[in-house]
């Protein structure tokens, strides 16, 4: 069953989703060459707890950290550690919060120092594909209309769309029905109804769509070693236009002032 939230529940969930954006903005202040990914994780955990929430990922399925931090060819689920960010890296940071009975879940991929133009374009276009997917997340459409919009846009640039990982419903549980692939045939999949809450998260690569899991049991990398980008918003399905519950505004204020 796909959960339908009331307007009151959506407003509670919005607070969790907005806190993720604020957390990622706080983390963004510390992103620079030489910083260890475990230091970013500590910043995030402290910030989330200081704001009356708990990290949504820590302990989930045994995951050991607050953030999923995935560098360069790592697509998602990277574990923070002693690895230092380097000039020219890109780093995908996925964050979850849990507050007042609801989860927020959002991700952003950051450039570190001077990044190749080709890779910056991958970031820009992956983020754009997220918004094109969100445009389809309205009552009366179907789940795979979202994936079709993402897939057709990014494949037009020759990018790969990861098939093994998908977006999902989000709410009282971090992962709810339905699955939300970033590919698919228009007009297929479950019908979208007002009050459904989805985490839409394109995971797009500069090369192959094929990925593998590292021996740590978590980190997912591109098979060809080329970079991958990941952006994610929580949305509520509405009539006419999706309601974006999370926000990149605070993140981009920090990035624009760096």
Domains of the chain listed by start with CATH number = 7-256 (3.90.230.10)
Distance CA 94, CA 23 (A): 10
Distance CA 248, CA 232 (A): 10
Q: Report which DSSP code applies to 29.
A: T
Model confidence over 8-51: pLDDT tens digits? 999 999 999 999 999 999 999 999 999 999 999 999 999 999 99
CB neighbour class for 8 (10 Å; exposed up to 12, middle 13-18, buried from 19) = exposed
Low-confidence residues of the chain: pLDDT under 50: none
Reduced to 3 states (helix: H, G, I; strand: E, B; else coil), residue 67 is strand
* Contact call for residues 242 and 137 (beta carbons, < 8 A): yes
- Strands, sheet with 233-236, edge to edge from the N-terminal-most edge strand: 176-180, 167-169, 197-200, 233-236, 243-244
Residue-level pLDDT at 258: 80
Residues near 51 by Cβ (< 8 Å), separated by ≥ 6? 19, 22, 99
- Angle, helices 143-155/117-135, rounded to nearest 10 degrees: 150
* Contact call for residues 68 and 97 (beta carbons, < 8 A): no
Residue-level pLDDT at 203: 98
Nearest one of 230, 2, 240 to 136, comparing CA atoms: 240
Distance CA 24, CA 108 (A): 8
């Amino acid at each position: 069953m796909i959960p339908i939230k009331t307007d009151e529940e959506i407003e509670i969930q919005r607070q969790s989703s907005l806190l993720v954006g604020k957390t990622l903005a706080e983390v963004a202040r510390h992103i620079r060459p030489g910083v260890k990914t475990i230091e970013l994780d500590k910043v995030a955990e402290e910030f989330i707890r200081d704001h009356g929430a708990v990290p949504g990922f820590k302990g989930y399925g045994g995951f050991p950290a607050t953030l999923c931090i995935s560098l360069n060819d790592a697509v998602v689920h990277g574990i923070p550690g002693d690895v230092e960010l380097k000039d020219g890296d890109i780093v995908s940071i996925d964050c979850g919060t849990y507050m007042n009975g609801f989860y927020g879940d959002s991700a952003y991929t950051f450039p570190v120092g001077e990044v190749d133009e080709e890779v910056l374009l991958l970031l820009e276009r992956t983020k754009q594909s997220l918004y094109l997917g969100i445009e389809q997340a309205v009552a009366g459409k179907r789940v795979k209309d979202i994936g079709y919009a993402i897939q057709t846009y990014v494949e037009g640039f020759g990018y790969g769309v990861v098939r093994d990982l998908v977006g999902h419903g989000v709410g009282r549980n971090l992962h709810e029905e339905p699955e939300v692939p970033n590919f698919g045939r228009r007009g297929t999949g479950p019908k979208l109804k007002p009050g459904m809450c989805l985490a839409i998260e394109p995971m797009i690569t500069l090369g192959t769509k094929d990925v593998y899991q590292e021996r740590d049991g978590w980190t997912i990398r591109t098979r060809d070693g080329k970079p991958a980008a990941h952006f994610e918003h929580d949305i509520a399905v509405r009539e006419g236009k999706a309601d974006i519950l999370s926000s990149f505004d605070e993140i981009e204020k920090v990035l624009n002032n760096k």
